[in-house]
Structures are given as structure tokens and as C-alpha cells.
Chains A and B, each alone.
Chain A
Amino acid sequence: MRSNIDYNKKVLEHFENPRNMGEMKNPDAEATVGNPRCGDVLKIMLKIRDDKIKDIKFQTMGCVAAIATSSMATKIVKGKTINEAKKITNVDVAKALGELPPIKIHCSNLAADALRKAIENWKKFD
């Protein structure tokens, strides 16, 4: 039984008020990463117009860090071009949140991975 993970204010703020959370009707692209066995699953949905991310939504089952990084990643890339968005890494997301507890750094991979995968999926159907 674990507890005691010190999250900073920004992480907690994104956890409590996640941006761009929810479902999207008819997304242009989507991707799901993680798996239910591990307890972390993240789904990203995109609306793309003129090579730009016009809208983005996420759904996450995961820990506080997973939810906060989902929120931050979507906030960062909304309005960006596909090429800009593709370059976003988990480090960028973690940095934007200030700092993540060391054992929670792996959680920030989920959002960056899902985003990249969603963009790849979009290209396939393009």
C-alpha cells in the first residue's frame, strides 16, 4: 500500500482541473496507449485542419501524474502545427509541469506517446 507522493501545485492543479478532457465526436485521428493490466490507459483524439491541431481531447485512467501530464500535453499542442506537435517529448511535458517526483517520470511517457501515435495514425489515413 503506497502513498506519500509529493506532487507540486501545478501538477495538482492540472489533476483537479484537467484541460481538454472528454470524448470527441468523429475525430480525425486517435490513439490509445498503455494497457488495462498496468492500470494506465490514455486515449488521445484529434481534430486537424490545415495541418494544425484544431481540437484535442484526452481520456485517461491512471495516477495523478498520468492525468496531469495528459492535461498539460494537450494544452501544449492545441493550436500547434502537426510538425511542431510531433516534436513534443515527455521531457517537455514534465518541464511544463515544473517537476514530477522521480518515480513518476515514466507516467509522462504516456501522453507524449499517445500524441505521436495519433499523429502517425492520421498520416496513414491522410
Chain B
Amino acid sequence: MKIYLDNAATTKVYPEVAKKVQELFVDKYGNASSLHSIGTEVRKKIDEARGKIARFIGAEISEIIFTSGGTESNNLALRGLAKANPDKKHIITSVIEHPSILETCKDLEKSGYKIDYIGVNSEGIIDVGEIEKLISENTLVVSIMHVNNEIGTIQPVEKIGKVCKKAEVYFHTDAVQGFKKIDLDIKDINLFSVSGHKIHAPKGIGFLYIKKGTNISAIITGGGQENKLRSGTENVPGIVGLATALDVDNKNNEIKKSRDKIIEGLLKIHGTKINGSMNNRIYHNINVSFYGIEGESLMLMLDKDGICVSTGSACASAKLKESYVLKAIGVEDLYIHGSLRLTLGDDVVGNEDYVINKIKKNVEKLREISPFKFEKIARK
């Protein structure tokens, strides 16, 4: 048996989604730009999918631009705005963004952009007031993620949207982790990024929502697909898969109950801390640190027990070790390396005690090996 607790990394494609996708591979395989019947049929499929997605988020059809996923959507948002509005050279973002935002910003810095990376408090939440203070005449866009991929904290994006609207600055949010899980009022959001593979659709598909009237240019040029904003033959199986995945039941409430039960169980282990706000947190995320041990070792032991998790301790290179997100919220040295991220799916329901017990067993084993004993500092 495997219990997959890494749904923030990617999700399994649900059978009903896979079935639809399969049909597009083998039967309706045409190119939507072809004028014959097989092409026309495929064009219809894309239109249907786009319509369904637009209705789901309360947008217009022309506001959905399909891309290859979250990374490309984030690139299109920032680089596309930069290209279309070359007179504005200032971007505001946060230190806890996904690398597809952070690295894009760093790249833009090289071509003369000034980027403000704002911090977060110890709960992992951004201060809207700070953004308000930083906005200037020169500001092109504010880009703040909706839900953080490591600690699951939910940012006040609707409030940030209001501030940006008032200041007449574009607001983009990386909605990859929150999409379909948490309702989002898009009234004051100019652009947001979505990725299919986080919501049980295939990998390599996503979209960027671009509000009507936004001044943006393509960064991929060619045949002019997607309203000239993203050239390239459409990934029709992906597009249909993404639209079909909207019908999948997330089982939010059940998963949330499991999550809370697991957290309760884990906190009974000495020297355990939950990282990030519990109040403003997506329902399936647990980010937990255990004193005095190292995450990779723990992850590997859990893998042996059939539990798939990820660790914030990136012990792969001597330099880039601890998670920049955990560092940003000020997790202490002897906790930061022993961190695990558990992002739950429906297969955890009913297996909560198994998960708690295995984690407890392995933490205790690693603590036996470790020179740092929580009991010693606890007694002080």
C-alpha cells in the first residue's frame, strides 16, 4: 500500500479525466487549425473546455489563455506585461514565491528592473500595508501567490487586488496551489496562473487568466494561437483534461478532518512544531518540523513504510540547504532541517493513525542516532 502525501508536488490524473484525455489522443486527434472535419471537431472541444473553465471562474472566454502550466503562465504574466509596458520598471513580489516567479524576477533584474521582494511574518503571511507603501509611479505589477506551495498559507490576495486597483497597478497572483480548492474573488485580480497537474489533470497544461483590457504581449510567437498570446499547436488532450478535472470532487471536508487529526497526533511527539499559520492555511497542507533530525533521512524511512512525503530540507547541495520559505518565517536551525511537507489527498482518509505512528516511530529512531536530544533542552 502507498499513501501519497505529496499532492502539492503533483496529483494523480483521475480515471474519468484520463478517459476523456485518451479519446483526444486516439480518436479526436486533429489539429484545431485544420479546416476539415477532424480539425473542426477538435476546435469545438477546445471551445467547450474554455467555456467551461470561464464559467467556473466567472470570466469571459477570451480571458483564458492556455499554456503549458504554472511556470509558463507566471513567465507570460511577468515578461508579457514587462514587454508591453516598457516604461514601468518596478515589480513587487514576495520572498516566498515559487521559483518560476523568483527566477523570472531575478532575470528581469538583469535587464534593469527593480524588484522588491517583501518578507512575511512568522505565520507566513504578507503585510498588505507594505505593498501599499512600495507602490510607485514606476510600478508595473504586484505579483503575490495565493497559496504557498510549502507551508500552505493563504495570502490576502483580494485585499492586495483592491490596493493595486486603487493605485492603478496590475495585480497578478500565482493561483497554482489554491485553484479549485479555495474560492477566489477575481474582481480585482488582473491576471492569475493555474496548473492542471495540481488538480488531477495531466502535466503540461495550465492557463493564465488575463482580464480584458490588460496590456500584455506574447513571449512565444508563431502561428498566433490563443488570441496571439501563446503560439503553438494546442495541447488538446491537456485542455480537455483540465476542463474535465473541474468536475472532480476534492473531498475537502474529509481531507481537512484527516489533516487536523494527523496534526493533533504529530504534536504529541516531543519537539514538534507546525510551520506557518493554522488559521490561514489550505485544508490539505501539513508542514511540520521535528527537533534535531534531518528531513531527507525521515523522508526515506517513511518511503519504506509506503508513505510518500517531501522535505523542506534540500540537503542536496552544500549551499542550498534549507527551505527559503521556512527560513523566511524564521524557523530555528535545529528545527528547519527536520521538516516534512505532507499534502493530503483522499487516500489518507482512514489511514491517519498509520501515518502518525510511522512518523513517530521514524522520528524516534532518528533522534536516537542524533547528537541533539530534545529532552535535554526541554529540561532546561
Question: Contact at B371–A59, with CB atoms within 8 Å?
Answer: yes
Complex-state Cα separation, A22 to B300, whole angstroms: 21
User: Do A39 and B336 touch across chains, with their CB atoms under 8 A apart?
Assistant: yes
Asked if A26 is an interface residue, CB under 8 A from chain B, the answer is no
B316 and A62 form a contact (CB under 8 A):
no
Q: What residue in chain A is nearest B318 (Cβ atoms)?
A: A106
Smallest CB gap from B297: residue in A? A64
**What are 10 sample pairs from A and B whose C-beta atoms fall under 8 A apart?**
A1-B150, A1-B312, A5-B316, A12-B300, A32-B371, A38-B321, A63-B296, A63-B297, A103-B316, A106-B318
Give which listed residue, B299, B312, B322, B369, contacts A60 with CB less than 8 A.
B369
Could you tell me the distance in whole angstroms from the C-beta of A121 to the nearest C-beta in chain B?
A: 16
Contact with A along B312-333 (1 / 0, CB 8 A): 1111111001110000000001
Residues of A contacting B323 in the complex (Cβ-Cβ under 8 angstroms): 1
Interface size on B, residues (CB 8 A): 32
State A15–B366 Cα separation when bound (angstroms).
10
Interface contacts (Cβ under 8 Å), in number, total 81
Instruction: Judge whether B310 and A3 touch: CB under 8 Å.
Output: yes
* Cα–Cα, bound, A10→B336 (Å): 28
A contact residues, range: 20 to 34
A36-B334, A103-B316 given; A3·B299 CB < 8 A: yes
| A3 surroundings in chain B (CB, below 8 A) | 299, 310-311
State whether B321 touches A61 (Cβ < 8 A): no
Residues of B within 8 A of A (CB): 9, 150, 292-294, 296-297, 299-300, 304, 310-318, 321-323, 333-334, 336-337, 341, 368-372
Interface of B is mostly: loop
Q: Is the C-beta of A123 less than 8 angstroms from some C-beta in chain B? A: no
Our pick among A12, A21, A37, A39 for the contact of B369 (Cβ within 8 Å) is A21
Residues of B within 8 A of A66 (CB): 294
Query: Shortest CB–CB separation between residue B317 and chain A, in angstroms?
Result: 6
Query: 13 extra interchain contacts, Cβ-Cβ under 8 A, other than A15-B297, A16-B304, A39-B322?
Result: A1-B9, A1-B323, A18-B369, A22-B368, A40-B315, A61-B294, A61-B372, A62-B294, A62-B315, A63-B297, A63-B315, A64-B296, A103-B317
B315's nearest neighbour on chain A, judged by CB, is A63
Cβ of A67: which chain B residues have Cβ within 8 Å of it?
297, 369
Enumerate chain B residues within 8 angstroms of A1, measured Cβ to Cβ: 9, 150, 310-312, 314, 323, 341
Chain B residues with CB under 8 Å of A60's CB are 369-371
Contacts of B292 in A (CB 8 A): 61
**Among the listed A22, A37, A39, which residue makes an inter-chain contact with B315, where contact means beta carbons less than 8 Å apart?**
A39
| A101–chain B nearest beta-carbon distance, Å | 9
B6 CB, min distance to chain A CBs, angstroms: 8
- For residue A2, CB closer than 8 A to chain B, the reply is yes
Interface hits, A8-54 → B, CB 8 Å: 12, 15-16, 18, 21-22, 32, 36-43
Which 8 A-B pairs give the minimum distances between C-beta atoms?
A39-B337, A59-B371, A1-B310, A61-B370, A63-B296, A43-B371, A63-B315, A36-B333
